[in-house]
Amino acid sequence: MGKNKQSLSIIKIGGNIIDNPVELTQFLADFSKIEGNKILVHGGGKSATKMAQSIGLVPQMIDGRRITDKPMLDVVVMIYAGEINKNVVAQLQANNTNAMGFSGADGNLIQSTKRNHPTIDYGFVGDVQKVNTPLLETLINSGIVPVFCAITHDKNGQLLNTNADTIASELAIAASEVFEVTLNYCFEKAGVLTDVEDENSVIKQINSELYTQLKQEGAIHSGMIPKLDNCFNSLSKGVQKIKIGHHRMLKNSEAICTSIEL
């Protein structure tokens, strides 16, 4: 790591924070107090599902992943890149944080390809191919706080619904070329739990060896697996530190959370 690298905090917030106005207000106030360079990545929460249902669409999921057909893409673009993103940016401005909202299409910041799965057609779902690191660096060095929604593009005019955890991971990997990056995944739990019902069962440190063991034992499963896969991929490609936990860890360095290590 170069000695002259500035630090950069990348924080991803889950949908459950987005869905709770009180939690979101508190989180954005805490985020605004983080000193130095920072990026916010947000998921979509339940708003897209509610909007889809209100206009007669039936959301489709396979193994916890949303199938994004054309009508559903229209909804997620409207909610993620529009309503949620702009409200978050407005609240950050109210906290004196000079935020600017982005999809991957803006400035060609995040380019993806439509997912090509051998047996499942996920529809308009994108897998990240590249990040425009020079522009990202320019924005950050200009004092802008980028706020990314979970929408990217394919450079051929097509917007794509893209996993927000993956976007945070890919931004962290790309930015680690020029910054010393810390990646935080904030959600409603205190960290990675051995028992989902027990907030006190936080695993404080996970390395790749323990991760393999916990998966085999079934202690870590379902949605936490892709999140942790993203974490280990990021660490192997230059990201300095990764934490998973409740957003209170942003203002309290002593707060219990899960640290991810190789």
Q: What is the pLDDT of residue 61?
A: 84
Mean residue pLDDT of the chain comes to: 94
CATH tag, 6-260: 3.40.1160.10
Dihedral Cα 134, 137, 143, 147, nearest 10 deg: 90
pTM of the model: 0.95
Average pLDDT over residues 133-156: 98
What is the reported pLDDT for 52?
Answer: 95
| Contact criterion met (CB below 8 Å) for 234 and 243 | no
More confident residue, 151 or 62: 151
What's residue 244's pLDDT? 96
Residue 32 identity: S
Of 189 and 111, which is predicted with more confidence?
111
Residue (of 153, 177, 191) closest to 234 by Cα position: 177
The answer on whether 123 is annotated among ligand-binding residues is: no
44 assigned to a ligand binding site:
yes
Q: Say which residues have a Cβ less than 8 Å from residue 121's Cβ, sequence separation at least 6.
A: 67
Tens-place pLDDT, residues 60-70: 888 767 899 99
Percent of the chain with pLDDT over 70: 98
**What percent of the chain has a predicted confidence (pLDDT) above 90?**
86
| DSSP for 6-55, written as a single string | EEEEEEEE-HHHHT-HHHHHHHHHHHHH--SEEEEEE--TTHHHHHHHHT
Give yes or no for residue 3 having a pLDDT over 80.
no
With 80 as the cut, is the pLDDT of residue 138 above it?
Answer: yes
Q: Where are the domains of the chain?
A: 6-260
Residues 22/50, Cβ–Cβ less than 8 Å: no
| Residue 230 annotated as binding site | no
Pairing mode of beta strands 126-131, 37-42 = unpaired
Q: 14 a known binding residue?
A: no
pLDDT of res. 146: 99
238-244 average pLDDT score: 96
Q: What's the confidence (pLDDT) of residue 1?
A: 47
